[in-house]
Structure 1
Amino acid sequence: MATRNTIILAAGKGTRMKSKLYKVLHRLCGKTMVDHVLTQVEQTKMDNIVTVVGYGAEAVEKELGDRTKYVVQGEQLGTGHAVLQAEDLLADLDGMTMVVSGDTPLFTAQTFDNLFKYHEDKKAKVTILTSKAPDPTGYGRIVRNELGIVTKIVEQKDATPAEAEIHEINTGVYVFDNRALFTALHQTNNQNAQGEYYLTDVIEILKNQGETVAAYQMADFYESMGVNDRVALAKATKIMQARINEGHMRNGVSMVNPDDTYIDVDVKIGSDTIIEPGVQLKGQTVIGDDCYLGAHSEIRNSILHDHVTVTSSMIEDSEMKSGSNIGPNSHLRPESVIEENVHLGNFVEIKKATIGAGTKVGHLTYVGNAKLGKNINVGCGVVFVNYDGANKHETVVGDDSFIGSNSNLVAPLNVADHTFIAAGSTITDDVHQYDMAIARQRQTNKPGYFKKLSYKVD
């Protein structure tokens, strides 16, 4: 049975990145480069995916998990040598094998599918994925004869002046007849300036054997961008970001300035949501319909239901339910759940807490390790004191309660429904239903005290 296979080359260290992190593990738009490649390959319904690892093998395997098989290239002896490491897994299979680099994160599944289809239609032994480069400098050129048949790939340093004028370039992605690939790899040698085994030599071998060598030219050159340094990583990020933003806008999301809006690849956004400039949506975030995300808000791995408003605030690993709002300058820390129609005002910090429906936390308040019921009013400057220096403790506040400004609720604490905490109180004991708790000294006035001071008195 014919199979469809892919080999992802991810063994290089990437010294030009000047990083302790291996090249293919650098991230853009929420995923590592090699994860972007694997994700697109997975969408083409492969029978086998093999990733060639070398430097940082354990880190790459940890990143990709069991989504792919792995082989190790112990020595970096060239692209042909890297592909040969997959021989034990693939060489005996009928079908087609694509080879793609793990540092080319912009390729799409559609392009891969088109390449496979073209290869099958041409009945080729190898098909090269090509594109037209605005500036082909540095790329291998695709040389065709007068019939449009590929005659060779010539590297920049070996190109004649006429060949250097060619704008069709080799993207480094190929589809091979699987058996022909591994047979030809054993015929390559390393008699070159680099002393390496080149995958491109397989193409020359197959051509000299009279086999069909085809080339499929894709429309978007920028898909083929390889990332070898930080400058290229930034350029690739910008291209992918524009692609992501365009997709959301075409699906009904409004962006005031898409060039200044940063959305990771796995984020989901509902229709009629409006996003102001400087917003960052990261990780596995899900945004509902009709939300308003104010300028410079950052939302990570969180769920916002419909009709939520976020004004210049940060939300991490939390959930805001329909009709709730937050900000400006507030912070939801992990494991916070904000129920329907909750108001969180400016400079409010919530951490590992549930805020019940209709509750209002106006400003300058910290709520940590707490469960607040419905329709509670929390005054300005309230602190839920949850940490005793060794352990975190929980505070529970019942429905329809009133927490006066500048109160401290010292956990562990239970405040029942329909209770009243007087402003300025430090509450350490449970408060029972319908009680008002006051925990502050009575005011004392000292008559004439001001005159004892050195200030001038009129």
Structure 2
Amino acid sequence: MHAAAIILAAGLGTRMRSALPKALHPLAGRPMLGHLLESAATALDRIVVVVGPDMPALERAAAPHATVVQAERLGTGHAARLGMAALAGHAGDVAVLYADNPLIRPETLARLRAARREAGLALLAMRPADPGRYGRVVADASGAVSRIVEWADASAAERAIGLCNAGVICGPAADLARWLGAIRNDNGKGEYYLTDVIALAAAEGCRVAAVEAPEAELRGINSRAELAEAEATLQSRLRAEALAGGATLTAPETVFLSWDTRLGQDVTVEPNVVFAPGVTVEDGAAIRAFSHLEGCVVRQGAIVGPYARLRPGTEVGPRAHVGNFVELKAAMLGEGAKANHLTYLGDATVGAGANIGAGTITCNYDGIAKHRTEIGEGAFIGSDTALVAPVRVGARALVGAGSVITEDVPADALAIARGRQVLREGRGFRRPAPGGAGAGGKGSPKGGSN
């Protein structure tokens, strides 16, 4: 039987103290909503996202799934009603989820669906180390749930219950629509609460089952501190997956992965490496300490770092070397090519086996547009060279150190573009004798530094 999901994402997240909608705050480089959408799309067949008014960025993040706007924020039950209206004609189960519960796994949603098939309604619950102000799940000896009691309304005995509500429910579409329609707003806030569905279902004699999952997976995110805790949970999960996949993380707790980082087998990642979104590292490559990678591909057997930065559009070819304090942006480094020290290559193509000397830069931006530099196979670029794009250096060409290259260099040619060295005998620096003239006197060098 097909199942749909309603994801409630209209919350402003006032405790986040942010102009950004709460559901768009990132975890591992991806909005919270994106994580939950992926899990829901894996376990369920159709998704509707309820957003607040004037949240176009949230609607874009929900695409291609349908969205419905909750123009008035009248509570979670009201938002779920709007989602049900958007699912008109759906005859299967419906799960109601919250965008600020982003770490729920597809396997947990599958268990929720399975429990619903054995009961009239199912919900997710947890046993947090500190139950705090969570709503408590009241169940009988058989495990059947009778109601959810909010902390503020709970007795001392009810507050002692360890099983807490995570907010997620799953029920048949027709029944859920009826229960949502029966919810009343006669409470202090004048809102319609989704949790009231539990008591309504139980009152009809419907069995309500609780499916337990770890707190780390079900916890909600309502503040920056809780966002940081969720980030730590997700990073631990991603690191474990990387290690299980055959990568070596020499100090896992110092490596930060993105939700879509792909590490091949026998990849080595040294301490204090950050992977932003869009990075693939192929088998046998090494990412050395204190490097930052984003939107790039590192091919098989390549070495990057330490202290390297790879920006979007970069591809480091097989067995190529990118060394310390080297930055690449929209650059293609060919097989076996080397840029080992203090270099910037932007909007550049470097051929196989080429060597880029220390201090080389591509001058790719003229203040208006970006231009490309092409360096041929086996070329040798001397240290402290500036390549003023657009420019080409042919295969096996040699560029002398300290050159400023503004014209194309043919294959197999030598190019030197620097001022001629001038010597003046006897004009070297002399320290003044004690009590004599200072360094600023006649004949002293100008422009020195200390």
Q: Same fold judged by TM-score > 0.5?
A: yes
Does the CA contact (< 8 Å) of 2:356 and 2:382 recur in 1?
A: no
1:73 lines up with 2:70 in the alignment: yes
Report the CA distance shift for 1:422/1:121 in structure 2 as closer, same or farther (over 3 A): same
Match of residue 286, structure 2, among 287, 292, 316 = 292
Query: In the TM superposition, what is the alpha-carbon distance from 1:348 to its structure 2 partner?
Result: 0.9
- For the residue of structure 2 that corresponds to 1:137, the secondary structure is coil
Partner of 2:308: 313
Which residues of 2 match residues 126-145 of structure 1 at below 5 A? 126-145=121-140
1:322 lines up with 2:318 in the alignment: yes
Distance 1:130 1:109 in 2: 16
Does the CA contact (< 8 Å) of 1:22 and 1:55 recur in 2?
A: no
Query: In the TM superposition, what is the alpha-carbon distance from 1:431 to its structure 2 partner?
Result: 4.2
Match of residue 162, structure 2, among 163, 167, 181 = 167
Partner of 1:104: 101
Report the CA distance shift for 1:228/1:254 in structure 2 as closer, same or farther (over 3 A): same
Partner of 1:54: 52
Report the CA distance shift for 1:327/1:423 in structure 2 as closer, same or farther (over 3 A): closer
Does the CA contact (< 8 Å) of 2:29 and 2:258 recur in 1?
A: yes
Give structure 1 regions of 4+ aligned residues with deviation exceeding 3 angstroms. Answer: 385-456
Does the CA contact (< 8 Å) of 1:91 and 1:179 recur in 2?
A: no
Q: What one-letter code is carried by the residue in structure 2 that aligns with 1:13? A: L
Per-residue CA shift, 1:353-385, capped at 9, x if unaligned? 111111111311113xxxxxxxxxxxxxxxxx4
Query: In the TM superposition, what is the alpha-carbon distance from 1:88 to its structure 2 partner?
Result: 2.8
1:113 lines up with 2:110 in the alignment: yes
Distance 1:110 1:404 in 2: 56
5+ residue gaps, structure 1, are 368-384
Partner of 1:11: 10
Distance 2:29 2:443 in 1: 63
1:33 lines up with 2:32 in the alignment: yes
- For the residue of structure 1 that corresponds to 2:360, the secondary structure is strand
Partner of 2:344: 349
Does the CA contact (< 8 Å) of 1:286 and 1:302 recur in 2?
A: yes
Distance 1:315 1:254 in 2: 20
Distance 2:411 2:398 in 1: 9
Report the CA distance shift for 1:59/1:391 in structure 2 as closer, same or farther (over 3 A): closer
Per-residue CA shift, 1:173-223, capped at 9, x if unaligned? 0001110111122211110011101111122112112222221222x1211
Does the CA contact (< 8 Å) of 1:22 and 1:56 recur in 2?
A: no
Report the CA distance shift for 1:274/1:135 in structure 2 as closer, same or farther (over 3 A): same
Query: In the TM superposition, what is the alpha-carbon distance from 1:445 to its structure 2 partner?
Result: 3.7
Distance 1:137 1:433 in 2: 72
Per-residue CA shift, 1:63-104, capped at 9, x if unaligned? 2221x1111111000111001112333243322100000011
Query: In the TM superposition, what is the alpha-carbon distance from 1:295 to its structure 2 partner?
Result: 1.1
Distance 1:343 1:130 in 2: 54
| Paired residue total | 432
- For the residue of structure 1 that corresponds to 2:143, the secondary structure is coil
Does the CA contact (< 8 Å) of 2:285 and 2:302 recur in 1?
A: yes
Report the CA distance shift for 1:405/1:191 in structure 2 as closer, same or farther (over 3 A): closer
5+ residue gaps, structure 2, are 431-440, 446-450
Report the CA distance shift for 1:426/1:23 in structure 2 as closer, same or farther (over 3 A): closer
Distance 1:160 1:244 in 2: 40
Match of residue 180, structure 2, among 178, 185, 188 = 185
Partner of 1:265: 259
Distance 2:415 2:140 in 1: 91
Task: Give the aligned CA root-mean-square deviation in angstroms.
Answer: 2.2
In percent, how many aligned pairs have the same letter? 34
Distance 1:421 1:40 in 2: 54
Report the CA distance shift for 1:295/1:76 in structure 2 as closer, same or farther (over 3 A): same
Distance 1:89 1:112 in 2: 21
Query: In the TM superposition, what is the alpha-carbon distance from 1:299 to its structure 2 partner?
Result: 0.6
Distance 1:337 1:266 in 2: 22
Does the CA contact (< 8 Å) of 2:348 and 2:374 recur in 1?
A: no
Does the CA contact (< 8 Å) of 2:302 and 2:320 recur in 1?
A: yes
Does the CA contact (< 8 Å) of 2:356 and 2:380 recur in 1?
A: no
Does the CA contact (< 8 Å) of 2:128 and 2:215 recur in 1?
A: yes
